[in-house]
Amino acid sequence: MRPKSNRSLLFVEKHYLLLLAPLLIFVAAIAIYPLFFSFYISFFKYRLTDPNQTRTFLGIAHYILAIHDKTVITAIRNTLVFVAGTVVIELLLGLGLALLFAGEGRWMRALRSWLIIPMALPSLVVGLVWKSLYNVDFGVIPYYFKQFGITMGRGPLGEIKWAMPSVILIDIWQWTPLVMIIFLAGLKSLPHDPYEAARVDGANRWQSFWHITLPLLKPSILIVLLLRTMQGFKVFDIIYATTSGGPGTATTVLNFHIYTVGMVFFKMGYAAALANILLIIVAALAILYIIVLERQQI
């Protein structure tokens, strides 16, 4: 009896491997190899445009340089502000919208599909459209503010203290619908029994939201946090299209700085080192999220 089941298990396993092979090869070539290559190249001084393609070994010099690089420190700070701003507001707003549009009426469905449109647009286009909306001399937004007697100085993207909130607003406009959809899916899959029990026990709507809905939505919250944090750290296209990291360095996020080092200066080694630092920050945050949320569940 035993040998037989072992053999069939082996057969099944082999089968799995065979079926997985194309995907594994693909992932190895597209993801694993570049990852290791970027770790490898970060230890070298390597200018992409060098005609001789010389690579000089530097050890961890690039990582030490990064810690002392003023622009990198500013960029990391800006990135954290961007991530905190977008993730918190999108989470709250997305949850609110999901609760608002959880109904199943005809209008609800129509409205929901309208709300999803921003998500379907390429970020670069969204950035360019918002840039022209924000333009203080020709744009629509400052024009209406002016009608109400509010002048916007150098404009939302031109003032140091307003540039980051303005960029965050673009991200919120575009990505809150995604958060809403995730929460909608979470809400739809909630069991009915606890609510009925709560009603019998005399809980009001707020109490059942706070004590039933929210705890049960924890997996959805985790997904939203992970997804939006990752994407927030990766933000590039909106910044590229609107401010190029300006004014000054007010919206220079880490990924934009990596782009400058890699694709303007072509210093591949340093760019790879910075990209790896970004990766480490995000991975550390992700683990933290998971630990905190999982622990609460138990």
CB of 23 to other proteins, least distance (A): 12
Q: What is the DSSP string of 257-283?
A: HHHIIIIIS-BHHHHHHHHHHHHHHHH
Q: Under the phi-then-psi rule, with left for phi > 0, alpha for psi from -120 to 50, and beta for the rest, what region is 202? A: left
| CB closer to other proteins out of 97 and 250 | 250
What's the residue count for the chain? 298
- CB 124, CB 240: distance < 8 Å: yes
- DSSP code of residue 294: H
| CB closer to other proteins out of 61 and 99 | 61
CB of 245 to other proteins, least distance (A): 6
CB of 266 to other proteins, least distance (A): 7
13: its two tokens: 């396993």
| CB closer to other proteins out of 78 and 208 | 78
| CB closer to other proteins out of 156 and 177 | 156
> Residue 161: enclosing H or E segment and its boundaries?
helix 160-188
| CB closer to other proteins out of 99 and 246 | 246
- CB 229, CB 83: distance < 8 Å: yes
- DSSP code of residue 285: H
Q: Which residues bind other proteins (CB under 8 A)?
A: 27, 30-31, 33-35, 37-38, 41, 48-51, 71, 135-138, 151-155, 157-160, 226, 230, 233-234, 236, 243-250, 252, 255, 258-268, 271-272, 275-276, 278-279, 282-283, 286-287, 290, 294, 298
CB of 81 to other proteins, least distance (A): 16
